[in-house]
Amino acid sequence: MDMWEMGMDDLDSVRVLTRHQTIEAVGVSGKTWERLEAVGDTPPKTRLSEGRIGYRVSDIKAWLGKRRERGAA
């Protein structure tokens, strides 16, 4: 199966968002993201090239899943 035959869930395992796209998708401010980065509380980064880094959609989903509050009203 090549990349174009993948389903959306499969594509999420390889799709990479820029830092800006990730911040927008997660719904936090740039300053909040910087604070999370400073304490090591962001999804793992993926280096795409020498000067380009992003975040895999699957890693963002996993990171958000760990942050869910259960039983909160």
pTM: 0.77
Distance CA 17, CA 53 (A): 9
Distance CA 17, CA 68 (A): 21
Strands 16-17, 46-49: pairing kind: unpaired
Token pair belonging to 54 = 């992003």
In Å, what is the CA distance from 21 to each residue of 30, 53, 54, 71, 73? 11, 12, 9, 30, 29
pLDDT tens for 16-65 read 999 999 999 999 999 999 999 999 999 999 998 999 999 999 999 999 99
